[in-house]
Structure 1
Amino acid sequence: MNVLTNIAIRAALDAGKEMLKIFNSDDFGVRLKSDDSPLTEADLKSHHIIADALKSTDIPVLSEEGAELSHNERKDWTKLWIVDPLDGTKEFVKRSGEFTVNIALVEHQKPIMGVVLAPYLGWLYWGDENGAFKAELSKTWVDETSELIMSKMQAKTLPCEKKEVCTVVASVSHFSKETEQYINTLKVKEGTVELVSRGSSLKMCLVAEGSAHLYPRLGPTMEWDTAAGQAVVEAAGGQLFDWKIKRPMLYNRPELLNGWFLAARKGVQIEDYFL
């Protein structure tokens, strides 16, 4: 893997270990942000660990839990890290294991590398110019150094699965009426549709690995929710398109709020599924 991918994976592993300590404790330190979304001590500790790890790259960082930056402050960044220190905070608070660490490298508004770690599940996904990969970490990975983890992990090249029945992955916490209507329309087109619910960026990772054909997100997300997952999907030969323009989603935009999007695994003609 390249140097920047290596740094991002190490940062994700170090953050993931700290998150699990808090996850397994009695008190998450939950409070509400201005939009009423939950914020935990794990979000903040993960942010600081990742931000410190990425300093050595001299590439600016846009993080969900970092300072609010206007577009005027970001507009000249041709390369930046986009980070979600804890994606799926609602799942974390509910003590579901479906939360992730997301770290993406964006260049000229395109995600060129992404790392997604599901600490509780021990699943690590990454994608860059060398392809997309998944490693399943050992049960004792949290007690090991990042160097040891990376030296012994066995990675599968993605996609590594191929479901025959049309499979759609959807959000656990954000299943909208529009998504339900889309799936009903898809059933008419395909005949049979299997629905799988997952939290956080795991939905995009299932598309990348081939376990799901499609991930329609017909509701709001933020840039840090999608950048890393999109990088993994694209490195695996799939696509993630902005619903409005029918082209790959771009980043470091004036408005960080994403519109609807559709992700499709390798081999699926994504243009045929904007129903």
Structure 2
Amino acid sequence: MTLEYYGVKSFAALKVDGSPITEADKASNEILNRELKRIRDLPILSEENNILPYDVRRNWDSFWLVDPLDGTKEFLNANGEFTINVALIEKDKPAVGVVYAPAKSVVYFSTGGGSFRKDTKTSETTRIKSSKTRGDILRVVVSRSHLNLETKAFIVELKKVHDQLELVVAGSSLKICLVAEGSADIYPRFGTTMEWDTAAAHVIARYAGKKVFNVETKEELTYNKEDLRNPWFIVE
């Protein structure tokens, strides 16, 4: 559906937080809200829905966590690096995750019994499980749109202990998926992200043998917090 709008010059309005929103965001959100209710009638926490207060959300044992168009800037730039993210959250932990990259004809998914990558053109599905050993070159994923000073400083520190380092530039939740499938080794995110940005890919990384953890506490990220912003985190 989002491909109907892809590559077409379209107007992007700005939300209160300054981030862009397009007609594709709205259309994708409408479809997901309708279809997820048919799959399992649970509350839906979506970037493009009205966010209910924590006093209501705190009582949710299970809910859908959705980003109908992750990487709107990448979508507008037509570089293919945008995704649709859907996660099922159970007791504040992501249990099922789907990350769909329509322009790349790829969908990553996990229901807890492993993580998989499917080519939507050929229907070929492969299980992904990243290696626990690293090669001679440390491959570091960085954001195409949000490479800040803190991340650059972290990379400088990595260079002190790794002779060879390669930056892998990507957008949206694909960055986490690249680590999950073994195309990169580490993804540091030292900036603002929201729960719907990470939850679906978090499941895929976890069941591919990787961790998504809070930089300060070293604990795995949790969801449905009062403040829906994620802490700084690392995927490796």
| TM-score band w.r.t. shorter chain | over 0.9
Contact 1:132 1:158 in 2 (8 A): yes
AA at the equivalent of 1:176: N
AA at the equivalent of 2:184: A
The alignment status of 1:39 with 2:21, answered yes or no, reads yes
Contact 2:108 2:116 in 1 (8 A): yes
1:160 positional shift:
6.0
| 1:15 corresponding residue in structure 2 | none
Cα deviations across residues 203-228 of structure 1 (Å, max 9, x unaligned)?
00001101111000011100000101
The alignment status of 1:82 with 2:65, answered yes or no, reads yes
Identify if the C-alpha distance between structure 1 residues 89 and 36 changes in structure 2 by more than 3 Å, giving closer, same or farther.
Answer: same
Q: 1:259, 1:248 → 2: CA distance?
A: 11
Q: 1:242, 1:52 → 2: CA distance?
A: 33
Identify if the C-alpha distance between structure 1 residues 156 and 94 changes in structure 2 by more than 3 Å, giving closer, same or farther.
Answer: same
Q: 2:208, 2:141 → 1: CA distance?
A: 17
Identity of counterpart residues, as a percentage? 43
> Please, which of 19, 22, 29 is the counterpart of residue 2 of structure 2?
19
1:259 positional shift:
1.3
Contact 1:116 1:126 in 2 (8 A): yes
Contact 1:167 1:213 in 2 (8 A): yes
What TM-score does the superposition give when structure 2 sets the normalisation length?
0.95
| 1:260 corresponding residue in structure 2 | 232
- In structure 1, stretches of 5+ residues that fail to align are 1-17, 139-151, 265-275
> Please, which of 79, 86, 90 is the counterpart of residue 103 of structure 1?
86
AA at the equivalent of 1:137: T
Contact 1:47 1:65 in 2 (8 A): yes
1:246 positional shift:
0.7
| 1:61 corresponding residue in structure 2 | 44
AA at the equivalent of 1:242: N
Q: 2:146, 2:74 → 1: CA distance?
A: 11
- In structure 2, stretches of 5+ residues that fail to align are none
Contact 1:163 1:211 in 2 (8 A): no
AA at the equivalent of 1:130: G
